[in-house]
Amino acid sequence: MLDIKQIRENPESIQELLNRRGEGKHDLQPILALNQRQRELETSRSQLQARSNEIGKLVGQKIKAGSDPNGAEVQALREEGNSLKAKLSELEPQEKELKAELEALLLTLPNLPSESTPIGKSEAENVEVRRWGDEYIPEHSNSLPHWEIGEKLGIFNFERAVKVAQSRFVTLIGAGAALERALISFMLDQQTAAGYTEILPPMLINSQSLTATGQLPKFAEESFKCEPDDLWLSPTAEVPLTNLYRDEVLEASQLPIYMCAYTPCFRREAGSYGRDTRGLIRLHQFNKVELVKLVHPQTSEDELQALVQNASAILEALKLPYRVLELCTGDLGFSATKTYDLEVWLPASGKYREISSCSNCWDFQARRGSIRFKEAGKKGTQFVHTLNGSGLAVGRTMAAILENYQQSDGTVKIPEALQPYLGREVL
C-alpha cells in the first residue's frame, strides 16, 4: 500500500511514477478527495471532543465551587455536553466509513517503480543484465521437448492427471516423483546453507494474508478459494512467509530475517489459456522453493542483489544455462518496485524461459500488513522492506534438466550436484 501522506504531499510525482507502469491510468483525485473529507471530519471530531472534555471539567469545577448541581448554569453546560456527544456519535461512523472507502481505493494502487527501474511498456523492453553457462548449451539441434522425454521415460503422465483433476495438472511417476523430491531437498539444502531458515507454513491462507502481500483484491480470480472458510490455496509461499510477521513490531536487532520454504502452489493462471498448454511450464499446481527476506530499508537494494545470487546459485550448481533480466516498469508485478527475472535455457523451444522472479517490494507489503521495527534509542517505528524470489520453481527446473541433459540414445543424465540426492546418474 502506498503512503497516503506521500500521495497527498506529492500527487504529481506519484501520478507520474504510476503512469510509468503502463497499465491504465490510476486516478489519484478520488483518493485525495476522500482523504480531504476524512481529515476535515477528523478535525471537527477532535474539536468537538476537546469541547466535550472541557465541559466535563467545567461541570465538576462549578459544583466543587458551590454551584447548584441542578441549577441553570450547570444544566446548560450539561445540555451542551449532551448535544456534543450526540454530534460525536454521528461523526464517528461517518469517519469510519470514509476511512474504509479510502483504504479500499489505496489497496487497488500498485507499488511505485523505483527510479532505477528501466522505463518500458511491456516485457519486450526488459533489459538483459547478464548470461551464464553458454558453454553448457547442448550442441545438438534435434532436442525433444521435456513432455515428450518425460512420457517416453514414463516419469510423468498428464492424461491420468486429467481423470483425477482436470487439464494443467500432472502426475509424477517413479523416477519423476523421486527427481522432484530430490530437487526440493537440494534447493532447500542450498538455501539453508546460504543463511535462510527453513519454514513449513500452512498451505491454506486467509484473505487478510493475501491482502497484505498484494494478491487481493486485484488477483482474486487467479486464486482458488475454499468456501465457506475464508481460506485460499496458497499461490506462493511468499504469502504465508511474509504474513508470519503481520501486525508485529520487531526490534531492529532481529533484522534481517531470511526464510525459505518448499510448498505446493496453486494458481488458476487466469488469462493464460492457449499458452504453454503442454508440459510443466504453466500448471494449476506446482512445487516451488521460495525465498523471503524482511530487512532494514537501508539494506534492501543490496539484499535484492544477494537474493538474485542465491537463486542463480541453484542454476549454476546444476550447470543449467540462464540469463538475468531487469524488468521494465510495464512488466513489474503489482507489489514490486524492482524485479530481476532468471530465465533458464530450454533447447527444444530455443529460448530462455522464466524460472525465478526476484523482487524488492520496499515497504509496500509491510504497510499493508503492518510489519514494523523499532530501533534502539529512537522514537517511533518504521516499516520493514520485504523481498521475495523463487529459489527455484521445481517443475521448470525439471523441464530444464530433461531438455538440457537429454542424450541421443533417449536417456537423460542427472546433474552431478543432484546425483547424491537421487541415487542415480542417468534416467
- For the chain, the domains span 4-106, 123-422
89: annotated active-site residue? no
Q: Average of pLDDT values for 97-113?
A: 95
* pTM > 0.85: yes
Exactly one of 223, 312, 357, 390 is catalytic; name it. Answer: 357
Give the pLDDT band of residue 46 (cuts 50, 70, 90): confident
CATH 1.10.287.40 fits 4-106, yes or no: yes
Amino acid (one-letter) located at 172: L
Sign of CA dihedral 105, 110, 116, 122: negative
Superfamily per CATH, domain 123-422: Bira Bifunctional Protein; Domain 2 (3.30.930.10)
Instruction: Give ∠ CA 316-317-320 in degrees, rounded to 5.
Output: 50
Mean pLDDT along residues 17-27? 88
Mean pLDDT of the chain: 94
Active-site annotation holder among 148, 316, 354, 375: 354
216-241 pLDDT, tens per residue? 999 999 999 998 899 999 999 999 99
Asked whether the beta carbons of 63 and 82 are under 8 A apart, the reply is: no
- Report pLDDT digits (tens) over 66-98: 787 788 887 888 888 788 888 888 888 898 899
Q: Say whether 282 is catalytic.
A: yes
Number of helices followed by number of strands (H, E) in the chain: 13, 16
Catalytic residue selected from 300, 303, 396, 403: 396
What confidence tens digit (pLDDT) does each residue in 159-217 have? 999 999 999 999 999 999 999 999 999 999 999 999 999 999 999 999 999 999 999 99
Q: Which of 267, 367, 368, 372 is catalytic?
A: 267
Backbone angles phi, psi at 209, to 5 degrees: -65, -45
Proportion of the chain above pLDDT 90, given as a percent: 82
pLDDT score at 271: 53
Whether 123-422 and 4-106 are alike in CATH topology: the answer is no
Instruction: Given the residues 37, 39, 282, 353, select the one marked as catalytic.
Output: 282
- pLDDT band, residue 11 (cuts 50/70/90): very high
Look up 78 and say whether it is catalytic. no
Q: What does the pLDDT look like over 256-279, one tens digit per residue?
A: 999 999 999 999 975 555 567 789
Which of 282, 241, 244 has the alpha carbon at shortest distance from 263?
241
